[in-house]
């Protein structure tokens, strides 16, 4: 990855936004474009001029042959977009937060996290209305080790198989019979106007979502004070705190696409409820942790400390041998 400590070279006074080229990524970026243009006081007729969207095909979009764990992990969906920021070709980048590695490259920062969409997973199938009612040995199409481990924990008879591609591609593969069922993030379906495709919205008690699921990350160059100030206008304090807790939990577990980890923080009227879990790849082992506490201030450090403590508790529950095994995956 290109890394630079130099000041951001300004090629344009416009606020170009870098995005993946997939339909979902562009839908998400268009939402951010509208929020930023409203914050700037820019009308719809000037939006594409002041905040043009530049699209990129990432390594993760090109390589659809295996699971994310097999082909390199989360950074596959961010590298090319981050390089656009580092070179000055873009002022903002928009990512799905669940695709973000634990650390940004030097020179880049998370400028804002706008209000989070529903973080739930949803079940899609033509055979059953509920994953627990699927026929024995039904084929589950998924690319997420978390979802596979969670479903196998309750239904070890089900047969997982890799199902990758953008949302539309996965829906077509399901309709073509390449799998009997699959799971997608509800947030993605809603942003694409496809929420009606969900057969069942999975409650967190049945399928705890991925860390950061439903949240978007607006990334900018650390030296671009103008862009940082603009992004701050559309950031959501509650979403930022919840995501910070979840990502602290993930980082403390050395989480990657190779490790089935789930986590969800909910903040309501100053009260935080966090649930996290760690599983073996086959779902046979599952360890859970829960935290409830009152938050007196909007202090990122305090929620990150909670995430760290929750991860430490989960490590103790799982035991040294289990942790050693998953870290070797």
pLDDT digits (tens, 9 = 90+) for 73-115: 555 678 889 999 999 999 999 999 998 887 788 999 999 999 9
> Which residues are bridge partners to 219 per DSSP?
93, 110
pLDDT interval class at 61 (50, 70, 90):
low
Range of the domain at 97: 17-114+215-235
13: CB partners within 8 A, 6+ apart: none
- Alpha carbon separation from 262 to 204, 242, 311 (Å, rounded): 10, 14, 11
The answer as to whether 7 is a domain residue is: no
112: CB partners within 8 A, 6+ apart: 218, 231, 232, 234, 235, 240
Task: Supply the CATH number for residue 170's domain.
Answer: 3.40.190.10
> Are residues 26 and 105 both part of a single domain?
yes
Residue scoring higher pLDDT (67 or 189): 189
In angstroms, the CA 327 to CA 77 distance is 22
> Are residues 104 and 224 both part of a single domain?
yes
Residue 69: the pLDDT is 52
The answer as to whether 1 is a domain residue is: no
Task: Supply the CATH number for residue 303's domain.
Answer: 3.30.160.40
> Are residues 223 and 74 both part of a single domain?
yes
Count of structural domains within the chain:
3
In angstroms, the CA 102 to CA 212 distance is 11
Residue 74: the pLDDT is 55
> Are residues 22 and 98 both part of a single domain?
yes
Residue 193: the pLDDT is 96
- Alpha carbon separation from 199 to 145, 166, 189, 292 (Å, rounded): 21, 19, 12, 31
In angstroms, the CA 113 to CA 95 distance is 10
> Are residues 177 and 219 both part of a single domain?
no
The answer as to whether 2 is a domain residue is: no
Average confidence (pLDDT) over 58-78: 58
The answer as to whether 185 is a domain residue is: yes
Residue 210: the pLDDT is 96
The catalytic residue positions are 99
The answer as to whether 106 is a domain residue is: yes
Is the model's pTM score more than 0.85?
Answer: yes
- Read off the pLDDT of residues 15-45 as tens digits, 9 standing for 90 and up: 999 999 899 999 999 999 999 999 999 999 9
> Are residues 126 and 103 both part of a single domain?
no
> Are residues 223 and 172 both part of a single domain?
no
> Are residues 78 and 41 both part of a single domain?
yes
> Are residues 180 and 109 both part of a single domain?
no
> Are residues 313 and 250 both part of a single domain?
yes
> Are residues 66 and 88 both part of a single domain?
yes
The answer as to whether 327 is a domain residue is: no
The answer as to whether 39 is a domain residue is: yes
> Are residues 150 and 225 both part of a single domain?
no
- By percentage, how much of the chain surpasses pLDDT 70? 89
């Amino acid at each position: 990855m290109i890394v630079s400590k130099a000041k951001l070279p300004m090629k344009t006074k416009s606020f170009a936004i870098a995005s993946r080229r997939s339909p979902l990524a562009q839908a998400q970026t268009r939402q951010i474009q509208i929020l930023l243009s409203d914050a700037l006081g820019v009308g719809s007729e000037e939006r594409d001029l002041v905040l043009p969207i530049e699209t990129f095909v990432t390594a993760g979009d090109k390589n659809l042959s295996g699971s994310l764990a097999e082909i390199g992990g989360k950074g596959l969906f961010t590298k090319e977009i981050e390089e656009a920021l580092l070179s000055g070709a873009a002022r903002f980048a928009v990512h799905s937060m669940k695709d973000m590695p634990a650390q940004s490259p030097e020179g880049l920062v998370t400028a804002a996290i706008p209000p989070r969409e529903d973080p739930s997973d949803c079940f899609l199938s033509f055979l059953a209305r509920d994953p627990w009612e699927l026929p024995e040995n039904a084929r589950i199409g998924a690319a997420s080790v978390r979802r596979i481990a969670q479903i196998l924990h309750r239904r070890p008879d089900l047969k997982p198989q890799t199902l990758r591609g953008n949302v539309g591609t996965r829906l077509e593969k399901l309709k073509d019979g390449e799998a009997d069922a699959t799971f997608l993030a509800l947030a993605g379906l809603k942003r694409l106007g496809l929420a009606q495709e969900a057969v069942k919205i999975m409650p967190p008690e049945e399928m705890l979502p991925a860390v950061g699921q439903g949240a978007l990350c607006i990334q900018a160059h650390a030296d671009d004070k103008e862009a940082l100030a603009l992004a701050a206008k559309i950031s959501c304090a509650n979403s930022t705190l919840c995501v910070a807790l979840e990502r602290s939990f993930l980082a403390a577990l050395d989480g990657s696409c190779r490790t089935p980890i789930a986590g969800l923080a909910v903040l309501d009227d100053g009260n935080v409820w966090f649930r996290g879990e760690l599983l073996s790849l086959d779902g046979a082992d599952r360890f859970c942790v829960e935290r409830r506490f009152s938050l007196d201030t909007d202090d990122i450090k305090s929620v990150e400390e909670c995430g760290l403590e929750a991860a430490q508790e989960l490590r103790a529950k799982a035991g040294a041998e289990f942790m050693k095994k998953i870290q070797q995956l």
